[in-house]
A and B are shown apart, each in its own frame.
Chain A
Amino acid sequence: MKDNAHSIKEPLMRVVKKAELGYTKTALLSLLGLAIAIAAGGAFILIIGHNPTDIYWSILQGAWRSKLAASGTIKIAIPLLIASLGITPAFKMKFWNIGAEGQIIMGGIFATYFALFWAHLPHYLLLLVMFLAGMLGGGLWGLLPAYFKTKFGTNETLFTLMLNYIALYMIKYLTEGPWRDPSSSGFPKIASFDKNARLDLIFGVHAGWLIALILTLVMFIYLKYSKQGYEISVVGESVNTARYAGMNVKKIVMRTMFISGAICGMAGMIQVSGAAHTLGDGVAGGVGFTAIIVAWLARLNPLIILIVTMFFAILEKGSSVMQSSYGLSQSVSSILQGIILFTILGMDFFTRYRIVFRKVRKKL
């Protein structure tokens, strides 16, 4: 019972929350994180015995090496961008919508119905109908978990995850059953769309890119300057605050999830009408999951989402030259994506927290 009684046991280090950083500081730290992430990816390339700068350079070039490759890169980016934008309002509300995949599929299914059975409509009317149908399909698929969340508190992460599979098997059902193309022998598939039901090309790529860019701006303005966007932020920060302020939280959650799902559904419509010209079970193909990562890395800022999407699309498309140039599997892009994501997710810690080390105490 000497001086031991007075000295408090203090851990070697502890984590303290930082005050909100300014815009430039956050941006700088994010860029630093990205640089470290790319370096970490480079370390992996080095380990498998290649030169990182060479590989990165060929990925960058590979994505734009020809007109065809460039349009391929943009085609990868379009659904990813739209789905990321769709997820953003939900995540901003802290509603963990893992169901973009299913919402994309439902959008695709609804749009396909009109493409298959109403193909005689005038071209632009048909496209408009398909567009709205896609949004309705995705929106309803997003509304469903929101309804149960607000009514009974049903866990939305798990619910939306399940809905992905139900949607996926709905495609399987339609492909093998009612919508099966009777003229195709062998493996069941849905017929290719009539020319009338396909999105027009603008500068060699289907019009989806223009829609996606417009949507980016609209979403930016919606979240930042509209009353509804403000409500989303408040609900995301604190449901109770929103309630005390007199907001109708249930209505906001359901409305936002409808919008979130509808935008993802739009991505589905654009995929079937612009890219695949048919409905197959690869219509979403993991885009709904990647979109979550994109939206999160971009800190739910639509303009940054555009940049991150391009980064991912270039990585994915550019990696397709890996096989011919280096004899590496194309899957190197997934590994690099993973490493870069892990690093950025880890680095994000330092923008929000700092570590305090135990001070050396002077003996009295």
Chain B
Amino acid sequence: MIINFLFAAIKAGCPLLFGTTGEIMTEKSGNLNLGVEGMMFMGAFVSFYTAYKTDSLALALLAAFGTGVLAAMIYALLTVSLMANQNVTGLALSIFGAGYAKFFGESMISKAGGSPKLSESFIKSISEQPLPLLGDIPVLGKLLFSHNPLVYISIIIAVICTIYMSRTRAGLNMRAVGESAAAADAAGINVYAVKYIHICLGGGICALGGAYLSLINGGGIWNNSNVVNGQGWIAVALVIFAAWNPAKAIFGSLVFGAFSVLQFYVPRNIIELPNAFYVMLPFLITTLILIITSMKKTKKGVQPAGCGINYFREER
């Protein structure tokens, strides 16, 4: 029972982990992109369509990643080069992305003459299978090594991003840009290149979260009404919960995932709480964290100082 619960929590948390890792990359380079929801929508559609047409998981994921990069490029062009307001641009991207997925999703449905379905062989390729050897370990084998391939990819990406951010020169440069673009510029870092690269990478990773939602959660059928359903916004919240650290995001997405499925696992005869409480709890905790960190005036685990501010060289 508990193992089933944790297993479900990991599954539910995985798309959030993609979104959160992507948004951390973006925010750490000094840009608050509120378009996560939109990029996830676009990734969801493009990956589904590619899988539907080619039956290849690798191509589907690549297509989603590429779409996320392109979407984030629009955002980067507008906010970094053209210095448009970041909040407004991100919101516009969210609206655009949702419209994009629904529009092309509907034309895909009308072309297929019904709900398009992924092939059996493709569904098998993304199904949950125990890894050889590791999957045979009792308890842990089921819990950690019997997932669909995207779960591992999300964790690998989060780990790579953590190492990249904290252990490499490029990662250090990125954090410098995020904290103070002017200082980084004076130190000889190409601020614009750093921002573009990380916004685009972040967008690509976010879009993979969308791919998870349409390929895995959709059960092989395209859901045109609301495939992403606010997960992108939850990812933005999770960034705070994870204190802008992808490694903590792994844990954080597990917690958020756990709360989203908790209502199905809590024994009703012992604890009787309204369902809404469980889904609300992550947001309450995030808000409290936000307040507490600001009260303590800590410099660790808070939003990068330059986040949300566009860098204009001649104004510093």
Contact = CB atoms under 8 A, between A and B. Distances in A.
Contacts of A304: none
Contact of B283 (A162, A332, A337, A352): A162
Contacts of A338: 92-93, 95-97, 99-100
Given A157-B32, A337-B95, A346 B100 contact: no
Nearest to B89: A345
Contact of B303 (A158, A161, A172, A332): A158
Contacts of B276: 169-170, 172-173, 176-177
A172 B277 CA distance: 9
Contacts of A172: 275-276, 279-280
A193 interface: no
Given A152-B295, A176-B276, A335-B96, A293 B32 contact: no
A349 B280 contact: no
Interface of chain B, helix or strand or loop or mixed?
helix
A154 B95 contact: no
B126 interface: no
A334 B42 CA distance: 13
B153 to A, nearest CB: 27
Interface residues on B, range: 35 or more
Interface stretch (B113-121, B137-145, B156-164, B285-293): B285-293
A111 interface: no
A342 interface: yes
Interface residues of A, number: 52
B41 to A, nearest CB: 10
A316 to B, nearest CB: 11
Interface in A163-208: 163-166, 169-170, 172-173, 176-177
B237 A329 contact: no
Interface stretch (B3-11, B74-82, B166-174): B74-82
B103 A159 contact: no
Contacts of A17: 312, 314-315
Contacts of A335: 96, 99-100, 103
Nearest to B275: A176
Interface string A323-361: 000011101111111110110011011001100000000
Contacts of B129: none
Given A176-B276, A349-B83, A334 B315 contact: no
B294 interface: yes
B233 interface: yes
A341 B97 CA distance: 13
A335 to B, nearest CB: 4
Given A161-B237, A331-B99, A346-B82, A292 B287 contact: no
A228 interface: no
Contacts of B237: 158, 161-162, 165
Interface in A87-142: 96, 98
Contacts of A161: 34, 233, 236-237
A171 to B, nearest CB: 8
A26 interface: no
Interface string B245-289: 000000000000000000000000000001111011001101100
A70 to B, nearest CB: 24
B222 to A, nearest CB: 13
B128 to A, nearest CB: 29
Given A152-B294, A170-B280, A341-B96, A96 B308 contact: yes
Given A289-B94, A292-B87, A296-B85, 17 more contacts: A153-B294, A154-B290, A154-B291, A155-B294, A157-B308, A162-B287, A166-B280, A169-B276, A170-B280, A176-B276, A296-B88, A327-B110, A334-B103, A335-B100, A342-B78, A346-B82, A346-B84
24 contacts: A17-B314, A96-B308, A152-B294, A154-B294, A155-B303, A163-B287, A166-B280, A166-B283, A170-B276, A172-B275, A173-B280, A177-B276, A289-B94, A292-B88, A328-B103, A328-B107, A333-B99, A334-B98, A334-B99, A336-B99, A337-B99, A338-B93, A346-B82, A348-B84
Interface of B: 32, 34, 74, 77-78, 82-85, 87-89, 91-100, 102-103, 105-107, 110, 233-234, 236-237, 240, 274-277, 279-280, 283-284, 286-287, 290-291, 294-295, 297, 303, 308, 312-315
Interface of A: 14-17, 96, 98, 148, 152-155, 157-159, 161-166, 169-170, 172-173, 176-177, 286, 289-290, 292-293, 296, 327-329, 331-339, 341-342, 345-346, 348-349, 352-353
**Top 8 nearest A-B pairs by Cβ distance?**
A334-B99, A338-B96, A173-B276, A329-B106, A331-B102, A169-B280, A349-B82, A341-B92
